[in-house]
Structure 1
Amino acid sequence: MVPQFKAIADHALLVTFADEISDVAHGLVLALDAAITANPARGMIETVPAMVNLLVSFDPVQTDHVAVQKHVRGCLSAAQSKKAAGTPRRVQVCYEGAFSPDLEAVAAATGLAPDAVINAHLAGDFRVLMYGFAPGYAYLSGVPQAIQVPRKPAPVRDVPAGSVIIAGPQCLVTTLTMPTGWSIIGRSPTAILTGKPDRPFLFDVGDPVTFERIDAATFDRLSKVCSDG
């Protein structure tokens, strides 16, 4: 894929690999991110990976778009020869009762039984694409085609933290009580917000994620452990 470069204000460069989400484009984003991090440009402040692009921010007093773009181009060959593996993460989820208010609707929309929807979700090949929207909101790719459903026509208020939600090919575990138009198919006791200043979130972009089914009793026990610290 041939990347496109776009100047953002006077302090950043956006490197875009594709117009649509794909594993190939996202793999290149992660590889370029790693290559630049290992060999940063003069004046570079940080890189921010997203689904199909990478934002490179810099100090405009020390450098400019032309110099940063030249440096990024130099990192591209190293990036395309590497593949970021990520660290495997496991997230527990309960699909029972009030924890999954949209499970029946997803089943009806896809023509599957509720247990088949759950099994499909558990079999998904999930990977963290990016963070956004709210603290700890890690957007995951990998929802199986069989259970991909569109967003709801209108969002629902007061969706609890820990809700496992899906829309199209993406999945997310909420970290705050907020509205959502995605379908809520379960709830997780796994802490995504760690409370650690040096590592505030459980995931890194590029990490593969596996969901593990638990029952309501296990959810309650694990939630108490988390709340007790």
Structure 2
Amino acid sequence: MRAAGDQGLLVEFGDSVDVAVSERVLAFDAALRARPFHGFTESTPSYAAVLVGYDPLEVTPSAVRAHVEALLAEPHPPLAAAALHELPVCYEQPFAPDLADVAQRCGMSEEAVIAAHLSGEYRVFMFGFAPGYGYLGGVPEAIRVPRKPNPVRARPPGSLAIAGPMCLVTTVTAPTGWWVIGRSPARIVDVDRERQFLFEVGDRIRFRRIRRDEFDAFGSVP
């Protein structure tokens, strides 16, 4: 573990995007939330680490470190079974501007790329970049393509994008260097819901193919 400024402690569990590492991250995060120390502000899990935030006016760095070390030394109970979410996605144009390029790079037909994407077993490893941006590991090897050398501006919300082993569904209009192969009408972020994010870190995701008319029936993505 190492200091992250004067208000944080970074607790590292590995250096790879791995389910076993992620489960250790989430188990520690759950233990910390169940038994916070005085002065604790928040915890932020990532692929392989947890950022532990604290108020330096309320607690010393050494006390934070001691609390974390004590938690790490304890066995953590198994995590509850991960929730499974099914997200609809339309792979038709104009929702899939990069589908043909991905197919060409992978030496596959567009339908084969779609089938491969639908076959993936996805897991939410972390949130980042923008609210509700869940980084989903599990893109099949056959369609893993590196990031673009230059991002494309103003991709709309709901864009389903892949890069390497990761996949995400955007929630805001933003640039991206990932390959957009479809669009989902799912409301991943909804401030009017009790739980504003549709899924949590550690949850599982499946994608379901829909036609353009089915997409339109969902209404606009916020």
Distance 2:19 2:76 in 1: 13
State the superposition RMSD in angstroms: 1.7
Are positions 1:158 and 2:154 aligned together? yes
SS at match of 2:145: coil
Q: Which residue of 2 aligns with 1:149?
A: 145
Q: Which residue of 1 aligns with 2:62?
A: 66
**Matched AA of 1:161:** P
Is the alpha carbon distance of 1:160 and 1:75 closer, same or farther for their aligned partners in structure 2, counting shifts above 3 Å?
A: same
Partner residue of 1:218 out of 192, 208, 214: 214
- Aligned identity (percent) is 48
Is the alpha carbon distance of 1:79 and 1:194 closer, same or farther for their aligned partners in structure 2, counting shifts above 3 Å?
A: farther
Mapping for residues 5-154 of structure 1, pairs under 5 Å: 5-78=1-74, 80-83=76-79, 85-154=81-150
SS at match of 2:100: helix
Aligned length: 222
Distance 1:199 1:119 in 2: 31
Distance 2:206 2:74 in 1: 29
Are positions 1:172 and 2:161 aligned together? no
Distance 1:81 1:21 in 2: 22
Distance 1:79 1:97 in 2: 50
- TM-score, length of structure 2 as denominator length: 0.94
Unaligned runs of 5+ in 1: none
Partner residue of 1:203 out of 199, 207, 213: 199
Q: Name segments (4+ residues, structure 1) moved above 2 Å.
A: 76-86, 196-200
Q: Which moved more, 1:197-206 or 1:180-189?
A: 197-206
CA contact (8 A) 1:11 1:64 kept: no
Unaligned runs of 5+ in 2: none
SS at match of 1:97: coil
Q: For 1:50-104, what per-residue CA distance to the aligned partner results, in whole angstroms no more than 9, with x for missing partners?
A: 1111001011122122222221222224465523533211111000121111111
**Matched AA of 1:178:** A
**Matched AA of 1:171:** C
Q: For 1:143-181, what per-residue CA distance to the aligned partner results, in whole angstroms no more than 9, with x for missing partners?
A: 111110001121111211100000001111011111111
